[in-house]
Chains A and B, each alone.
Chain A
Amino acid sequence: MSRRGWLALGVTALAALAAVPLVVRRDDVLNFLFLVLLSVALAQSWNVVAGYAGQINLGHAAFFGLGALVTRTLWIAEWPVLAGAALGALAATAFALLVGAVAFRLRGAYFAIGTLALGEILRITVGNVLPEVSTLPTATIGAYRLADRYYFALALAAVAVGVVAALERSRAGLGMQAVREDEEAAEASGVGTLRLKLLALVLSTALAGLAGGLFAYYHISYYPAHPFGPHWTFDALLITFIGGVGTVHGPVLGAIFYVFLKEYLAIRWVDFHLLIFGALFITIVLLLPGGLVEAAARLRTLARRAC
C-alpha cells in the first residue's frame, strides 16, 4: 500500500473509532476497544526502542508504572489528569535516561539487565512503601465516564502509531534501524549511535508513561505496585512480536489479536492464558520472528507463486 493509502486508512479508522461512543451504547464493547487501544499504545512504545533501535527493554513496566504512579497521585491531589499524565511521562523519561545514559555506553545485554532490574526494584519498593489499594474518591467515581477514558486511549494510540510511522521514514528512524542491524557498522559509518538510542528511549518511555497515566485514569482501584508488574512488559513484548516487531502496523494487529484471544482465554481457561501466551511467544521468537506481518507476507508470496 502507498503512503497515501496508509494515511487514508489511518484517518478513516480514527474517525470510525471516534464515532463509536456516539453510536454504541454497550460498555463491554467500549471496554474491549479501550483495552485494544491501551495495548496498541503500550506495544508501540516498546516497539520504538526494541523494534527500531534494537534495544531490548525488559523493564518496560517500570515506565508504565511510573506514569501511573505520578498521574494517580497528582490526579487525586486534584490536578487536571492530562497535566498529571504529562508529568508522569516526564518522570518515566527521567528514570529511563538515568539507566540509558549509563547502560547504553556499553553494548550487549547491559540495557536489558538494567531495565529488568529497574522494573523489579521499583515494583518491590513501591509495593513496600505503598501497600494500600489506591481507590478514587467517591465524588470522582460518581462522575466516572468510560467514554472519556476511551477518547484518551484513542488519542494516545493514534499518537503512538503516528510516532512510529514518522520514525519509519525519518533520518533518525533509519539511523536507529542501522544501529539495530549492526551497531559497530553504524558507529563506523558516522551514525551517532548513543544519541539515537537515547532518542528512541525518550520517545518510548514518554509513550509508556502516558499509557501508565491512562491506566491510572481508567482504573477505579488498584494496588500502586500493580502497573509495575512484569506482565505489563510481557504484554508489550508479546503484542509486538505477535504482530511484527519493527513495523508500524504489526503492533496494531497484534493488539487486536491479543486482546481478543486474551478475553476469550480468560473465559475458558482462567489462569492458563499466561502459560499459553508464554508458549506462543517463545514459538514466535524462535520460528516466526516477523510475527503476523511476516506470516502475511509469506502467504502472499506463496499465493503469487501459485497463480
Chain B
Amino acid sequence: MILVQQLVLGLLVGGLYGLAAAGLSLVFGVLKVLNVAHGELIMLGGYGAFWLWVLLGFDPLLALPLVVAGALAFGVLLYWGLFAFVVRAHEETRIKNSLLIGFGLALATHALAVRLWTADERSITTTYAGAVLSLGPIAIPLVRLASLVLAFALIGALHLLLQRWRWGRAIRATAEDWEAAALTGIDVRRAYLLAFAIGTGLAGAAGTLVSVGYSISPSIGLEWTLKALIVVVLAGLGSMLGTFVGGLVLGLAEAASAFAFGGPYREVVGLVIFLAVLVARPRGLFAR
C-alpha cells in the first residue's frame, strides 16, 4: 500500500514535470536554444504567485492567469534582451552560447532571488491546502490533484494552439525547418519570439502550481531544469502530449526508486534514465 501511495504521489508530481518540460521542449525545438535557466523561470513564477497571495490575498487559481500573463511579458523582454542575440549564430554556436548564457542567467537569478526573498522555503497554504481525497488507504492531496488536472489542461491548450492557430502552425513549421518556413513567408523571428514567450508563460504556470502543492525557494531552479531536461530527453521533441506522458513516467520512476532504494537516492533515477535513453536510442532524440 505504501508503494501505491508513493506511486500516486509520483504521478501527481509527474504532471508538473511534464508541464515544466513542455516549455523547455518548445523553446528548444523551435529556437534550437537550450535554456538551462528554465527552472529559474519556474522559480520566479512560483514567487509571483506566492507574493500575489501574501500581499494581495489572491487565490492561486486567480493568480495563475496573472502569473502566466506576467511570464509571457517577461519572456518577451528576455528574448529581446538576450536570446535574440543568441539565435543569430549558426546552430552549433547557438546551442553552446545558449547553454553558457542560460547557466550564467540561472546563477545570477538565483543570487538575486536569495537577495530579494531570502533562501527560505515558501509555500502557499490556502484554507483548502490540507484537503485530502481518501480512496481506502490511499490519500490524494486535493491541491496536487488539481495541479495535475490543470497541468494537463494547459498542455492540451498548448497542443490545440499549435495545431489550430495560424502562428501555432508557423511555430511548428519553424521548428521543422526554419529556412523553409522563412521561404513560405513566415517571419521566423516572430515565431521565435512567440515560442520563447509561450515557453516562459508555461514556466510561470508550472511555478504557480509548484508553489501551491509543493514549496519554492531560490535554489529550486536547477532541480526543475534538470527534471525538464530529463523529460525532454525521455520524450523527444515534437509532441507536447508525449512530453506530458514523459513527465508522468519520470514521476512514477522516481517514486518507484525511492520506494526501492530509499528517499535519498530518488534523484539518481533521473541520471540513470538519461544514460539509458542515450544508450537505447543512440541516434539521438533531438534528431527527427
Contacts and interface: CB of A to CB of B under 8 A. Distances in A.
A, B bound: yes
Given A108-B92, A113-B274, A117-B270, A125 B265 contact: yes
Contacts of A43: none
B135 to A, nearest CB: 30
Contacts of A230: 103, 106-107, 222
Interface in B208-230: 222-223, 225-226, 229-230
A241 B225 CA distance: 23
Contact of B226 (A110, A121, A231, A241): A121
Given A125-B268, A278-B105, A271 B274 contact: no
Interface residues of A, dominant DSSP: helix
B115 A271 contact: yes
Q: Which of B223, B233, B275 has the most CB of A within 10 A?
A: B275
Contacts of B263: 128
A19 to B, nearest CB: 37
Contacts of B106: 230
B24 to A, nearest CB: 11
B271 interface: yes
B36 A58 contact: yes
A109 B286 contact: yes
A124 B96 contact: no
Given A102-B278, A112-B99, A128-B264, A282 B104 contact: yes
B112 A275 contact: yes
A75 interface: no
A121 B270 contact: yes
Given A116-B36, A231-B107, A99 B275 contact: yes
B128 to A, nearest CB: 31
Contact of B275 (A114, A233, A234, A278): A114
Nearest to B106: A230
B274 A117 contact: yes
Interface string A263-303: 00000000111110111011001100000000000000000
B103 A233 contact: yes
Interface in A105-131: 105-110, 112-114, 116-118, 120-121, 124-125, 128-129
Given A108-B92, A272-B115, A275-B112, A234 B103 contact: yes
B110 interface: yes
A174 interface: no
Interface in B81-122: 82, 85-86, 92, 95-97, 99-101, 103-112, 114-115
A107 B96 CA distance: 12
B284 A106 contact: yes
Interface of A: 54, 56, 58, 98-99, 102-103, 105-110, 112-114, 116-118, 120-121, 124-125, 128-129, 230-231, 233-234, 237-238, 241, 271-275, 277-279, 281-282, 285-286
12 contacts: A56-B100, A108-B95, A112-B34, A112-B99, A113-B233, A116-B229, A118-B271, A128-B267, A238-B104, A275-B108, A277-B107, A286-B97
